[in-house]
A and B are shown apart, each in its own frame.
Chain A
Amino acid sequence: MSGLGQEDRWVEKEWTLAERFSANLVWFRHQAGLTQQELADRVGMNRVVLSALECGRRLPRLDTILRLVAGLEVKSCDLVAWMWWTPAGHHHYETPRRIADITGYEVWDFDTPARFRVSPAGFETRERFKDRLRQRGEDPDHRVVLELLRDDAPKVAPRPRPDAAWVLRTAQALKALREERGLTRDELAKRARTTAAFIGEIEEGKVFDPGLRILAEICRALDGEGTGLAAQVEPMRAERKAAVQKVLDELAERDARQAEE
Chain B
Amino acid sequence: MGKEKGPQATNASRAFGQNLVRLRERAGLSQEGAADRAGLHRTHVAMIEAGQRLPRLDTIVKLGGAVGVEPCELLAGLAWELDPPKEGSK
A residues sitting closer than 8 Å to B (CB atoms) are 17-18, 21, 41-44, 59-63, 65-67, 69-71, 75-77, 80-81, 83-88, 114, 116, 144
Contact = CB atoms under 8 A, between A and B. Distances in A.
Contacts of B8: 63
A67 to B, nearest CB: 5
A71 B55 contact: no
Given A84-B61, A114-B39, A66 B83 contact: no
B79 to A, nearest CB: 7
B70 A62 contact: no
Interface residues of B, number: 37
A70 B12 CA distance: 13
A80 B71 contact: yes
Nearest to B16: A62
Interface string B51-73: 00011111011111110001110
A85 B61 contact: yes
A41 B84 CA distance: 10
B81 to A, nearest CB: 7
A62 B13 contact: yes
Nearest to A81: B72
B81 A70 contact: yes
A92 B63 CA distance: 25
A14 B78 CA distance: 30
A58 to B, nearest CB: 9
Contacts, number: 101
Nearest to B48: A62
A114 B64 CA distance: 13
A17 to B, nearest CB: 6
B38 A87 contact: yes
B12 A63 contact: yes
Interface in B1-17: 2, 5, 8-9, 12-13, 16
A71 B84 CA distance: 11
B79 A66 contact: yes
Contacts of B13: 62
5 contacts: A61-B54, A62-B16, A62-B55, A62-B75, A85-B66
B61 A62 contact: no
A74 B44 CA distance: 29
A61 B12 CA distance: 11
Contacts of B76: 76
A70 B55 CA distance: 18
A42 B82 contact: yes
A59 B56 contact: yes
Contacts of B89: 41
A183 to B, nearest CB: 38
A144 B64 CA distance: 14
Nearest to B1: A61
B34 to A, nearest CB: 10
B79 A17 contact: no
Contacts of B66: 85, 87
B70 A85 contact: no
Candidate in B8, B38, B82 with the most chain A CB atoms within 10 angstroms: B82
Given A85-B61, A85-B65, A116-B61, 18 more contacts: A17-B58, A41-B86, A43-B82, A61-B57, A62-B9, A62-B55, A62-B75, A63-B5, A63-B9, A66-B75, A67-B80, A76-B76, A76-B78, A77-B75, A80-B57, A84-B71, A87-B38, A87-B39
